[in-house]
C-alpha cells in the first residue's frame, strides 16, 4: 500500500484524519462537519471545501501547518 500524501487530491478525508489526527482540529476550527461524517470515506478535501464553502487553498495551508506543528513537537 502506498504511503499517503497530505497533498494527494484523491485522498479520502477518513484516511487523511486517520493518518494525521492533528488535522481534526483544523476541520473543527473551520466548522466543517467532516469528523465522524459517514461520507468522509468518499469525500476529498476538494469536496469538503466545496460543500462547506471554505477556501481550499487556505484550508490546505492550515492542514499542512497543523502537520508541521505536530512534527516539530
Count of C-beta atoms within a 10 Å radius of residue 31: 8
Q: How confident is the model at residue 1 (pLDDT cuts 50, 70, 90)?
A: low
Q: Is residue 30 part of a domain?
A: yes
Using one digit for the tens of pLDDT, what is the confidence trace for 8-29? 999 999 999 999 999 999 999 9
For 47-62, letters b (16+ CB in 10 Å) and e give ebbeeeebeeeebbeb
CB atoms inside a 10 Å sphere around CB 18: 13
Write down the mean pLDDT value for the chain: 94
Closest CA to 28 of 55, 62, 68: 62
User: Is 0.85 topped by the overall pTM?
Assistant: yes
Number of structural domains (the chain) is: 1
Range of the structural domain that residue 35 is part of: 13-72
- In the DSSP assignment, the letter for residue 3 is P
The answer to whether residue 8 sits within a structural domain is no
Amino acid at each position: 500500500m502506498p504511503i499517503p500524501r497530505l497533498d494527494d487530491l484523491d485522498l479520502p478525508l477518513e484516511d487523511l484524519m486517520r493518518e494525521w489526527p492533528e488535522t481534526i482540529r483544523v476541520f473543527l476550527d473551520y466548522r466543517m462537519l467532516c469528523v465522524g461524517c459517514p461520507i468522509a470515506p468518499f469525500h476529498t478535501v476538494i469536496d469538503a471545501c466545496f460543500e462547506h464553502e471554505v477556501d481550499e487553498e487556505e484550508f490546505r495551508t492550515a492542514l499542512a501547518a497543523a502537520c508541521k506543528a505536530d512534527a516539530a513537537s
